[in-house]
Structure 1
Amino acid sequence: MGDERRSIEADSRREDDSSVDLEAAFDRIADGIYTLDAEGRCTAVNDRARALFGQETGTVAATAAEPPIDTIRALFGNAHERALESQQPITVERFHDAADDWLEARCYPDETGVTVVVREITERKEREQTLADGNRRLRSIFENAHDAILVGDTDEIVAANPAASELLGVDRSELHGRSLEEFIHDDYDVESAWAALLEQGRLHGSFSLARPDGTDRIVEYNAVADVLPGTHLSILRDVTNSRRRKRQLERQRERLTALDHVNSVVREINDAIVNGSNRTHLERVTCESLADSPSYEFAFIADVDTRSKRITHSVEAGIDDYVETIPLSTDANDPAGRGPAGTAIRTGTMQVSTDVFEDPSFEPWRDDAREHGYNSAAAIPIIHDDVLYGVLGVTSARRNAFTNEERDVIGQLGDVLGHAIAALERRRVLLGDELIELELVIDDAVALFDGPSMTGHSVWFDRVIRIDEKQYLEYGTTASETVPMVEALVACIPHWEQLSVLDESAAEVTFELTISSPPMVGVIDAYGGYVEAAAIHDGDYTVTTHFPTGTDVRSLVDDLTDVYPGTRTVARRQVTPSRESVEQLRNRLAATLTDRQRTALETAYYSGYFEWPRNSSGEEVAETMGVAPATFHEHFRAAQRKLLTAILDEPETVR
């Protein structure tokens, strides 16, 4: 019995020692620890666990006596049973409302129970929550961004947002595994850009995308290499519309600038006309003004021989010997005649090539365009009264130049130049020291229009006055018995419109004939000439005309023959108009004016009768002269007629 008692006491001492060792071991552990037996009873809890559970600390024995089992079960539920059943470690995380902390419990089972390690993980959970919130924000940004976002490695796309799917025109699920390079136009150097991205770490730029539906989009990109090792990020922004708007604004500015330049050219041409320039100077001013403009590269004016179909050099600016070195023709069967210049000459209308490298008709001159740096070209016929004086050529480095308002304004240069050249030619013939005089006859001209027989009758046409581009007034005389025949001719000849008798008091009748677009007068006007005299004798039409020296008479006669095939030249002469000086004019007027006529004219002039508004009326001038108003007007009108006759009658010519 004594041995047995001693054995029991020894075991009791060993248990006490073991309990002391376990307590010491629990105290040395920083984490909370508690144990449960197989029945779910709490067998041990250290001070750290009690503190985590919100209980006062004590010894192991005290812990065992007052186990926090309710708190444990409320926090971790059946995690212990699951660990015992599976005999596998289980980790659970729970929020402890009483302590306002997050706790983590790691359950380690064995056959006799479960040992649980508890630690406070509030900071970690807060970090995880912060990270999760950040990830959610990033995901939201990724999913809802207006710009396309692509994530990929060296070979393929691994993630794409909805905007990327919309931009590339491919379903989002189909983008994974594909490469962005598949969508980039061949004109972009992908290989160089990729190398620059890897070297610099960041890269931005722009390129064109070719979508599967055949449409193109212009994008700007920002790329970042290795956002994760081997993973790269690209953000693409569709700038197609903004680029187009920007380009439209640039084109509008270019057009406005070009319009300003063209208007400046028109003003310079008008100044040249007002200052009395000759044709060569006028053409040179036009070309130089265009070539000096930043909107245009160079300009030229070429002469045209419609019969030989040759286009020859006239004036150039901004370039030398251009017309002589390029193929040009007016023949529609010749490729060199199907470009802007040849077509403008044939049709009489402005021709434009807005992109010479896309225009099939411009193929013969594409190498020339590359050499001289132009992308657009225009050809403007120089025309007045259906007569072609040449063609104006203009080039521009801008694509789509010569459109809209610019086309309208620059097209007017052909009309302005044509009108100015025609006016200069007419002035040259009126003021020339020498003229070419042609006498022409159209045999049996009246019969051409099925008119009445004019045998034994004559009509003289003394003056043709041009009213506008188509209307003329022709003044003449004839015998009173011939007037009905002239009236019959008005009904037969298409361009004779109306006959008005002005004076039939004498044996001869004076008349005014309104005519519209007369074919012969139109040709004569076109060559800068005028009709000095014309008449109808026995049905034949004779006309005497004057032209400036240097006129291509052969071409002129050919054009007249085209109008009236029966036209023949009777005579061609060089004539010199007489130039009467002012003093000679005064002497002639002094010899023809009576004293009363001269007095009436001078009194009216110095009393302000010719001012507007008048300083004196006819009655007041008559009172000053001491005569009746009727007497004043009789002398005054006679004097005016003699004065105007001396000025307006054609000068005599020396043949």
Structure 2
Amino acid sequence: MLGPDGHVRTWNAGAEQIKGYAADDVLGEHVSTFYTDSDREAGVPQANLAAAADEGSIEDEGWRVRADGSRFWATVTLTAIRDDDGDLRGYAKVTRDMTDRREREREVRRDRDLLDRDLEKYQNRYRTLVEHFPNGAVALVDQDLRYITFGGAPEGETDVTRGDLEGAPLRDALPREIAEVVVPRYEAALDGEMSEFEDTIDDRVYQFHFIPVRDDDGNVFAAIGMSQDITEQKERERKLEESEYRYQTLVDNFPNGIVALFDEDFRYLIAGGELYEAFDVSPDDTIGNTLYDRSTAEEIELLEPHYRAALNGDTRSFEVEYADRTLQFWVVPVTDESGEVFAGMAMSQDVTERKNRERELDRQREQLAALNDLNAVVRSITDEVIARSTREEIEQVVCEHLAAAESYLFAWIGDVDVASQTVTMRAEAGVEGYLDGITISADPDDDRSKGPTGRAILEREIQTTQDIRADTRHDPWRSHIEEYGFRSSAAIPIVHEDTVYGVLNVYAERPNAFEGQERAVISQLGEVVGHAIAATERKRALMSDEVVELQFRIRDVFGALDVGVPTTGTITLDHTVPIEDDEYLVYGSATPDAVDSVRALVEALPHWLGVTFRTDRGKPKFELRLSEPPVLSTVASLGGSVENVVIEDGDYRMTLHVAPGSDVRNLIDAVQSAYPDAELLKHRQITRHDDTAERVRQVLTTDLTDRQRATLEAAYHAGFFEWPRDASGEAVAESLDIASATFHQHLRKAQQRVFRSLLSTSEST
């Protein structure tokens, strides 16, 4: 609608679709805005307004272009609107899309040409067309109002056939009440006027169309009349109108979602809901449009089958991930009182929070199951490794148990090749060839050490990858590892007493596998395996006749350690006992002139915590407590021992024994790192003779007196050494018929001689 000045007052959805302007953009603009530049320069808009004001109405037709670039055949009518006094109030400008009708006219013109050349051939061809006319009748009549041809669905519902009608006068063939309605319309069509209307006949609603048929010169030579039974369509429209009223309250207040009612053309009749605001869209953008108008190809592909199913009476429910939200959809049929489906309803709700909670619960359940599985695996590994006698067996058992667990895919253990500073595989289970073709470095200056395995070795802390797809640390090997199908991994350093034995790598198919409690539990495997390997190495060192002996010397150790004490006398460290928390007790002796030197060392060295002296047969003995000594922990982790340490006149000598095959280079580095002035005097393999059993037998058979042996045997068999004791010292003394004090004196001397034979150092050759 235009005002008398030619400015736009109203603008409907059809105008927006054609021109591409929203109402807010054009209201108040002059109608000339929508003419071409050449039309405006020629004054066409103003001339059209003046002509409409003079003539009351003007009409034009021709090709037009929509905002989307598509062409359509339009009939444009511009009508002046006047009030009762004849004053001009404005204009009504109506543009109608007549493309389909023009196409029908063009087809009829083609048929007319055929009719002129060969009427029978034309009739045969037109019959093919009319036979497929849906739900109605179509007829072609000539200038004499005689049927040329006739067809459509109603023919099969009456006794009238095409043969009865072709050539028959229209007025004779039709009932009078129908003829009175349609004959004037045919006559108007033969005069070139199109018309359409609806009428009710025998309680059925019909829609009629009458179209003139022109030849190539534009002359009307026939008319087409079409009628369709739209009773069901009108009934659907009525039901839809009722549904709009019935469902409007639901639509307006649908919580946390969107709801829309659609017809058989998938056109949205009503729409609303709170979720529209979240997507910054108005329901008005939906109402009146079809599914195809504003939906993407992916959305159409998803929704169309469900919409069609609802119109067929099925109910559908499904979920969609959209714009970082999870939407739950329901598409349901809408039925009338008789149960007939006449529309569909689509409802969606934002269930993101609920789905996130469900995913979190699923993840927690999965983690709990994995944690239970892992705890069982750790227990079984702990039990298994204790029984294994070699490092190789321990490592293989660990990998096999982890690979067999439901929670994990595969596992492998590697350690560092000292020469190349690269990681080599020692054991694996669940996968073959994982390290083929890739290099993992332990050199901090090498980019290939930045992955989890290299970092675990260098930092001595567990390294986890929660999602390999997003973890850039795997980039150097990504093309290789993607084929193995894991999403998360853990690299656990195998460490004991500051010695890194290698790294355990475990892989899982699920993301975020190694976090929380699961991470804490699996990290303990590094300590368990490290402790088992260290124990095996110690056992091998103790049982082996062959040992590697290392001897070091530090000249003027007091000067090297910056301890200002006299350098006279001799200090020996004879035996070391590990306790807990990286602390040790060291038992030794000193000549009287070296006692002050021992005390000075305790004051000067931070890891010498304290010393206690006693006298044994006139010779000073001491007990020294050490905390985290730099060499002892490394020796212990390799299963070695400190054979003796002697400080004599200020020079320090230390002799160490480790099993063959141990990481001797690591031990030498540890000593020289702690004591830079230490010289390696000897590095040799020797054979040692263990005469412990022989010495114990000699003590029991020769060194003990008869009374001492009898006292020891009686105490043992009476249960004196059990806990709690089966017999007290007084009871055993009474059975031997000796005084209690005498019993304890004999027992103490016997124990002393037996323990000396067990714990004294054997000779080496």
The TM-score normalised by the length of structure 2 is 0.63
Separation in structure 1 between the aligned mates of residue 612 and residue 541 of structure 2, nearest angstrom? 30
Q: Match for 1:138 among 247, 266, 271?
A: 247
Query: Which position in structure 2 is the counterpart of 1:149?
Result: 259
Give the CA deviation at 1:171: 4.0
Whether the 8 Å CA contact 2:565–2:600 is kept in 1: the answer is: no
> Amino acid of the residue matched to residue 729 of structure 2?
G
Give the CA deviation at 1:282: 1.2
1:205 and 2:314 aligned: no
Equivalences for residues 206-245 of structure 1 within 5 A: 206-210=319-323, 216-223=324-331, 233-245=345-357
Change (3 A) 1:274 1:337: closer
Change (3 A) 1:226 1:131: closer
Separation in structure 2 between the aligned mates of residue 324 and residue 559 of structure 1, nearest angstrom? 33
Give the CA deviation at 1:573: 2.7
Whether the 8 Å CA contact 1:441–1:542 is kept in 2: the answer is: yes
> Amino acid of the residue matched to residue 509 of structure 2?
A
1:462 and 2:574 aligned: yes
Give the CA deviation at 1:136: 4.9
> Amino acid of the residue matched to residue 731 of structure 2?
E
Query: Which position in structure 2 is the counterpart of 1:118?
Result: none
Equivalences for residues 206-355 of structure 1 within 5 A: 206-210=319-323, 216-223=324-331, 233-305=345-417, 308-355=420-467
Whether the 8 Å CA contact 2:640–2:658 is kept in 1: the answer is: yes
Query: Which position in structure 2 is the counterpart of 1:445?
Result: 557
Whether the 8 Å CA contact 1:279–1:424 is kept in 2: the answer is: yes
RMSD between aligned residues: 3.1
Unaligned runs of 5+ in 1: 1-128, 211-215
Give the CA deviation at 1:131: 11
Q: Match for 2:723 among 607, 612, 628?
A: 612
Give the CA deviation at 1:175: 4.5
1:366-394 deviation digits (Å, cap 9, x = unpaired) = 33343111111111111112211101111
1:250-307 deviation digits (Å, cap 9, x = unpaired) = 1111111111222122212221233243211111111111111111111111112467
Q: Match for 1:506 among 617, 641, 647?
A: 617
Separation in structure 2 between the aligned mates of residue 500 and residue 183 of structure 1, nearest angstrom? 91
Give the CA deviation at 1:205: 2.5
Whether the 8 Å CA contact 1:454–1:537 is kept in 2: the answer is: no
1:446-504 deviation digits (Å, cap 9, x = unpaired) = 222222444331111110110124110000111123212211111111211111013x2
Query: Which position in structure 1 is the counterpart of 2:587?
Result: 475
1:572 and 2:683 aligned: yes
Separation in structure 2 between the aligned mates of residue 499 and residue 192 of structure 1, nearest angstrom? 84
Whether the 8 Å CA contact 1:312–1:324 is kept in 2: the answer is: no
1:562-609 deviation digits (Å, cap 9, x = unpaired) = 221122222223223324475763244211111111111111112221
Separation in structure 2 between the aligned mates of residue 581 and residue 506 of structure 1, nearest angstrom? 25
Change (3 A) 1:175 1:257: same
Separation in structure 1 between the aligned mates of residue 761 and residue 581 of structure 2, nearest angstrom? 23
Query: Which position in structure 2 is the counterpart of 1:515?
Result: 626
Query: Which position in structure 2 is the counterpart of 1:389?
Result: 501
Separation in structure 2 between the aligned mates of residue 406 and residue 180 of structure 1, nearest angstrom? 49
Whether the 8 Å CA contact 1:149–1:163 is kept in 2: the answer is: no
Give the CA deviation at 1:623: 2.4
Query: Which position in structure 1 is the counterpart of 2:302?
Result: 193
Q: Which stretch of the first structure deviates more once superposed, 328-337 or 219-228?
A: 219-228
Q: Match for 2:480 among 356, 368, 371?
A: 368
Q: SS where residue 631 of structure 2 aligns? A: helix
1:58-91 deviation digits (Å, cap 9, x = unpaired) = xxxxxxxxxxxxxxxxxxxxxxxxxxxxxxxxxx
Give the CA deviation at 1:645: 1.3
> Amino acid of the residue matched to residue 376 of structure 1?
S
Separation in structure 2 between the aligned mates of residue 235 and residue 494 of structure 1, nearest angstrom? 75
Separation in structure 2 between the aligned mates of residue 183 and residue 409 of structure 1, nearest angstrom? 53
Change (3 A) 1:428 1:469: farther
Q: SS where residue 327 of structure 2 aligns? A: strand
Query: Which position in structure 2 is the counterpart of 1:46?
Result: none
Q: SS where residue 636 of structure 1 aligns? A: helix
Query: Which position in structure 2 is the counterpart of 1:16?
Result: none
Give the CA deviation at 1:642: 1.0
Query: Which position in structure 2 is the counterpart of 1:434?
Result: 546
1:408 and 2:520 aligned: yes
Whether the 8 Å CA contact 1:436–1:574 is kept in 2: the answer is: yes
Give the CA deviation at 1:616: 2.1
Separation in structure 1 between the aligned mates of residue 350 and residue 640 of structure 2, nearest angstrom? 66
Give the CA deviation at 1:630: 2.0
Give the CA deviation at 1:361: 1.8
Change (3 A) 1:450 1:224: same
Separation in structure 2 between the aligned mates of residue 607 and residue 164 of structure 1, nearest angstrom? 87
Q: What is the identity percentage for the equivalent residue pairs of Structure 1 and Structure 2?
A: 37
Query: Which position in structure 2 is the counterpart of 1:636?
Result: 747
Give the CA deviation at 1:183: 9.8
Unaligned runs of 5+ in 2: 1-237
Q: Which stretch of the first structure deviates more once superposed, 194-203 or 379-388?
A: 194-203
Q: Which stretch of the first structure deviates more once superposed, 413-422 or 388-397?
A: 413-422
Whether the 8 Å CA contact 1:181–1:190 is kept in 2: the answer is: no
Q: SS where residue 441 of structure 1 aligns? A: strand
Change (3 A) 1:164 1:523: closer
1:140-197 deviation digits (Å, cap 9, x = unpaired) = 333334352124577875531223424644344455477879999x9x9435335534
1:601-646 deviation digits (Å, cap 9, x = unpaired) = 1111122211222222222222222222222211110100111112
Q: Which has the larger radius of gyration?
A: 1
Change (3 A) 1:382 1:402: same
Change (3 A) 1:392 1:180: farther
Separation in structure 1 between the aligned mates of residue 319 and residue 379 of structure 2, nearest angstrom? 44
Whether the 8 Å CA contact 2:569–2:592 is kept in 1: the answer is: no
Q: SS where residue 299 of structure 1 aligns? A: strand
Give the CA deviation at 1:241: 2.0
> Amino acid of the residue matched to residue 646 of structure 2?
A
Give the CA deviation at 1:427: 1.5
Separation in structure 2 between the aligned mates of residue 324 and residue 614 of structure 1, nearest angstrom? 61
1:160 and 2:268 aligned: no
Give the CA deviation at 1:362: 2.0
Query: Which position in structure 1 is the counterpart of 2:705?
Result: 594
Query: Which position in structure 1 is the counterpart of 2:649?
Result: 538
1:521-572 deviation digits (Å, cap 9, x = unpaired) = 1222232211111111121211111111112333432332122112222222
Change (3 A) 1:491 1:480: same
> Amino acid of the residue matched to residue 330 of structure 2?
N
Separation in structure 2 between the aligned mates of residue 266 and residue 329 of structure 1, nearest angstrom? 28
Aligned pairs, number? 519
1:306-332 deviation digits (Å, cap 9, x = unpaired) = 674311111111111222433312244
Whether the 8 Å CA contact 1:452–1:489 is kept in 2: the answer is: no
Whether the 8 Å CA contact 1:168–1:209 is kept in 2: the answer is: no
Change (3 A) 1:545 1:156: farther
Separation in structure 1 between the aligned mates of residue 632 and residue 613 of structure 2, nearest angstrom? 22
